[in-house]
């Protein structure tokens, strides 16, 4: 049987947050929340773990830094040392002060782009991807909770509806769950 | 979410609901452009095309069409480059540094300031490319294996550092800007009526749907990008200043150049932001979001950085005498009293005296005066670069080779042309892109909105939220205990940098 989903819509971020807390306390599992801007404090309530993208950025930064060092060591020291105004050019360490700016720029270049690309791929937000917010107004002023019936099998549908309706919603819709992406 | 101290001026005037914000920003995108827009865009495009014509003429004929000579071998090209890069410093400073300092007023201006940054850096990047004369060998600045022996680029040279710095700055700024744009494009996509605009904004919004997990990532990505972009902003203009400071030309060989250039860059960047925003807010009826307080904040930044620049001018003047090096002293005496005294005098008047007027509250809150000063500052900053570059080299060690610089029509045409291209880009941005950060503004409307601060918002303060208006009773951050809230409130009164709940889940 196809999974069914309840979309409970609120017109205020705070009402949704309070509602989510109440529902979770009653044992309702909230699959996701769609909102036009970040709702602060919703993540721990609905069980969204803190992102690890910061670590990703660090890993890309280290990659960039090492690539830069390996690169200019080969170009300037190993392959073709150049005598420029008598500046030290036969050891990486002696020549390093001149390479600091590029080391920094390359580190930032890698960290920023690596993290941004990872972010877009993990979100499945890429050019041409379809959007899957249930209502167009979710990007304007409507806040929607997605509650799948398969996640709340121990509760009867009527019971679930009653619990949700008690949280100050403006709209409630139950339909077949369609996975868009 | 906590209530902001009442003593703070509201950042959003009047009563705005969430959908009002969407409506106000999208109105100009969805409606017809006013006639003034077409006129301005047409003029900018024509001027820009003339500039492109001049560039093509330059590339076809050679660098000899510029007014350069054996003594003055760097003039308007590098002046324009440094000027544009400097202007390109405000956007990322506003969005990155002010994000780290949790300044909420940045939210009304960051989007358009970043757009300005990106277009300004485009214009800046044009000059090093065309000054090569042979644009088609521009790839020689990249360290790629080649057949000229193992001829690598010189990693010891500040000019190569510049290549890396500008490229990194441009691409990271674009990424930062676009990550913030994605949710706002999604807003426009979901409102779009025409099939074409729905399709276009659908592609631009990358399929953003505003899931909780995505917002969680969004906030961390913004924060980390801000952390990366902050040192980047400072490094870029420091490296530009190394182009001069690492040389042995009297007047260039100065250790104060990096901080002095960075302050000057922020100074001119904010001036350009003021010029553009004062027109934008009026033309697009965004006075409720970008109002006198925002202008005042930016004028304070202009005043502070302008003062740093002023101190730097006087320091280098003093040190040139104090150093006892006669070439160094002469370079500065020649700047002030030589044949280019008028350039030096304009620089001093525009950059040292004019920002000091901002000490007067009445003046820094006057929009007309701000507009006037912002243009004066930009003229002054162009002269600063001209003074540093041309007056330092036009009289070199050998008096027989002393000479003057006279711009040719190609010099002038290319400079005016970049202004045209820049404004054409900016006008196109203002027409098709969300000029305010819609999602970010929604996070502060209930904290800093005027009607929420003085309790005149309908439904606000009562028990029953008004359905459909996005209103609810006053809020306390659910994660905070009441005593935390009080603590936070008192902290806010002490520090100017108030905590910015919209940036990151703390």
Q: What is the ipTM of this complex?
A: 0.91
* Chain A positions in Cβ-Cβ contact with residue B153 (cut-off 8 Å): 75
Say if the Cβ atoms of A76 and B152 lie within 8 Å.
yes
Tens-digit pLDDT string for chain B (506 aa): 556 777 788 888 888 888 888 888 888 888 888 888 999 999 999 999 999 999 999 999 988 899 898 889 888 999 999 999 999 988 888 888 888 888 888 888 888 899 999 999 999 999 988 988 888 888 888 888 877 767 888 888 888 999 999 999 999 999 999 999 999 999 999 888 888 888 899 899 998 988 888 999 999 999 999 999 989 989 999 999 999 998 888 889 888 999 999 999 999 999 999 999 999 888 888 888 888 889 999 999 999 999 999 999 999 999 999 988 888 999 999 999 999 999 999 999 999 999 999 999 999 899 999 999 999 999 999 999 999 999 999 998 888 999 999 999 999 999 999 999 999 999 999 989 999 888 888 888 888 888 887 777 776 544 444 444 444 444 444 444 444 444 444 444 444 444 444 443 33
* Chain A positions in Cβ-Cβ contact with residue B167 (cut-off 8 Å): 105, 109
A144 DSSP β-pair partners = A9, A34
**Preferred mutation among A83, A112, A118, A137 to probe B, highest tally of B CBs within 10 A:** A112
Considering only alpha carbons, which residue of chain A is nearest residue B143?
Answer: A75
Say if the Cβ atoms of A138 and B209 lie within 8 Å.
yes
Convert the pLDDT of each residue in A40-64 to its tens digit. Answer: 888 888 888 888 898 999 999 999 9
Q: Among residues 63-92 of chain A, which lie with CB inside 8 Å of chain B? A: 71-72, 75-76, 79-80, 82, 84, 87, 89
Q: Shortest Cα distance from A29 to chain B (angstroms)?
A: 14
Q: Which residue has the tokens 């902003």?
A: B233
Residues 6+ positions from B197 with CB-CB distance below 8 Å: B30, B188
* Chain B positions in Cβ-Cβ contact with residue A59 (cut-off 8 Å): none
A171 touches chain B (CB under 8 A): no
Q: What are phi and psi of B376, to 5 degrees?
A: -55, -45
Residues 6+ positions from B25 with CB-CB distance below 8 Å: B184, B286, B434, B435, B436, B438
Tens-digit pLDDT string for chain A (181 aa): 578 888 889 888 888 888 888 888 888 888 889 999 898 888 888 888 888 898 999 999 999 999 999 998 888 888 888 777 777 777 888 888 888 999 999 999 999 999 999 999 998 888 888 888 888 888 888 899 888 888 888 888 888 888 888 888 888 888 888 887 7
A39 touches chain B (CB under 8 A): yes
Say if the Cβ atoms of B19 and A53 lie within 8 Å.
no
| Cα–Cα dist B467/B107, whole Å | 27
Classified as helix, coil or strand, B12 is strand
B316-350: buried (b, 16+ CB within 10 Å) or exposed (e) per residue? bbebbeeeeeeebbebbebbeebebeebbebbbeb
Q: Shortest Cα distance from B92 to chain A (angstroms)?
A: 14
Q: Shortest Cα distance from B459 to chain A (angstroms)?
A: 12
Q: Shortest Cα distance from A169 to chain B (angstroms)?
A: 9
CB pairs under 8 A between A and B: 240
Taking Cα atoms as reference points, which of B505, B324, B415 lies closest to residue B78? B415
| Cα–Cα dist B244/B261, whole Å | 11
* Chain B positions in Cβ-Cβ contact with residue A108 (cut-off 8 Å): 168, 172, 228-229, 231-232
* The model's pTM: 0.87
Please check whether residue B112 is in contact with residue B289, taking contact to mean a CB–CB distance below 8 angstroms.
Answer: no
């Amino acid at each position: 049987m196809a999974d069914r989903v309840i979309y409970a819509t609120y017109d205020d971020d705070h009402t949704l947050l309070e509602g989510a807390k109440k529902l979770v306390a009653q044992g309702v599992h909230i699959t996701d929340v769609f909102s036009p801007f970040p709702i602060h404090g919703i993540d721990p309530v609905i069980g969204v773990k803190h992102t690890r993208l910061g670590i990703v950025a660090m890993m890309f930064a280290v990659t960039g830094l090492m690539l830069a060092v390996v690169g200019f060591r080969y170009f300037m020291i190993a392959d073709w040392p150049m005598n420029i105004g008598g500046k030290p050019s036969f050891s990486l360490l002696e020549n390093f002060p001149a390479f600091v700016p590029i080391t920094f720029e390359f580190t930032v270049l890698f960290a920023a782009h690596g993290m941004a690309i990872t972010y877009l791929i993990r979100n499945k937000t890429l050019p041409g991807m379809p959007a899957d917010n249930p209502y167009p107004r979710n990007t304007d002023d409507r806040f929607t909770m997605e509650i799948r019936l398969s996640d709340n099998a121990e509760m009867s549908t009527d019971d679930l509806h009653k619990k949700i309706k008690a949280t100050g919603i403006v709209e409630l819709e139950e339909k077949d769950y369609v996975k868009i992406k | 979410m906590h209530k902001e101290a009442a003593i703070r001026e509201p950042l959003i005037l009047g009563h705005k609901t969430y959908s009002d914000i969407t409506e106000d920003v999208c109105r100009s995108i969805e409606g017809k452009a006013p006639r003034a827009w077409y006129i301005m865009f047409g003029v900018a495009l024509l001027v820009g095309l003339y500039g492109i014509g001049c560039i093509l003429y330059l590339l076809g004929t050679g660098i000899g069409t510029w007014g350069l000579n054996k003594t003055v071998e760097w003039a308007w090209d590098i002046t324009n480059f440094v000027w544009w890069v400097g202007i390109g410093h405000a956007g990322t400073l506003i969005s990155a540094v002010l994000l780290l300092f949790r300044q909420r007023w940045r939210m009304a201006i960051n989007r358009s300031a970043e757009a300005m940054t990106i277009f300004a850096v485009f214009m800046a990047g044009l000059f090093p490319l065309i000054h090569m004369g042979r644009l088609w060998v521009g790839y020689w600045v990249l360290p790629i294996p080649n057949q000229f022996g193992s001829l690598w680029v010189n990693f010891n040279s500040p000019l190569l550092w510049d290549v890396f710095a500008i490229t990194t700055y441009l691409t990271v700024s674009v990424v930062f800007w676009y990550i913030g744009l994605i949710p706002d494009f999604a807003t426009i996509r979901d409102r779009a009526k025409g099939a074409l605009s729905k399709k276009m904004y659908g592609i631009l919004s990358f399929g953003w749907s505003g899931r909780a997990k995505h917002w969680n990532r969004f906030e961390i990505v913004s924060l980390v990008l801000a952390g990366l972009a902050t040192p980047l902003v400072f490094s870029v203009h420091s490296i530009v200043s190394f182009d001069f400071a690492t040389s042995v030309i009297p007047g260039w060989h100065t250790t104060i150049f990096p901080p002095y250039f960075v302050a000057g860059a922020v100074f001119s960047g904010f001036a350009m932001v003021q010029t553009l925003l004062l027109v934008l807010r009026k033309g697009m009826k965004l006075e409720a979001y970008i109002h006198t307080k925002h202008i005042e904040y930016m004028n304070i930044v202009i005043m502070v950085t302008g003062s740093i620049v002023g101190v730097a001018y006087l320091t280098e003047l003093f040190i040139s005498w104090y150093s006892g090096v006669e070439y160094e002293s002469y370079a500065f005496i020649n700047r002030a009293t030589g044949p280019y005294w008028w350039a030096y005098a304009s620089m001093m008047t525009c950059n040292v005296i004019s920002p000091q007027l901002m000490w007067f509250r009445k003046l820094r809150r006057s929009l007309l005066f701000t507009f006037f000063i912002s243009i004066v500052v930009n003229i002054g900053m162009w002269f600063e670069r001209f003074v540093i570059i041309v007056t330092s080299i036009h009289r070199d060690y050998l008096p027989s080779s002393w000479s003057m610089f006279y711009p040719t029509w190609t010099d002038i045409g290319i400079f005016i042309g970049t202004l045209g291209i820049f404004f054409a880009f900016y006008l196109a941005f203002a027409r098709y892109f969300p000029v305010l950060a819609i999602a970010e503004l929604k996070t502060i409307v209930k904290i800093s909105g005027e009607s929420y601060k003085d309790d005149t918002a309908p439904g606000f303060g009562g028990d029953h939220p008004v359905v459909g208006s996005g209103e609810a009773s006053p809020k306390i951050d659910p994660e905070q205990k009441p005593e935390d809230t009080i603590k936070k409130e008192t902290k806010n009164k002490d520090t100017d940098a108030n905590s910015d709940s919209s940036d990151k889940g703390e």
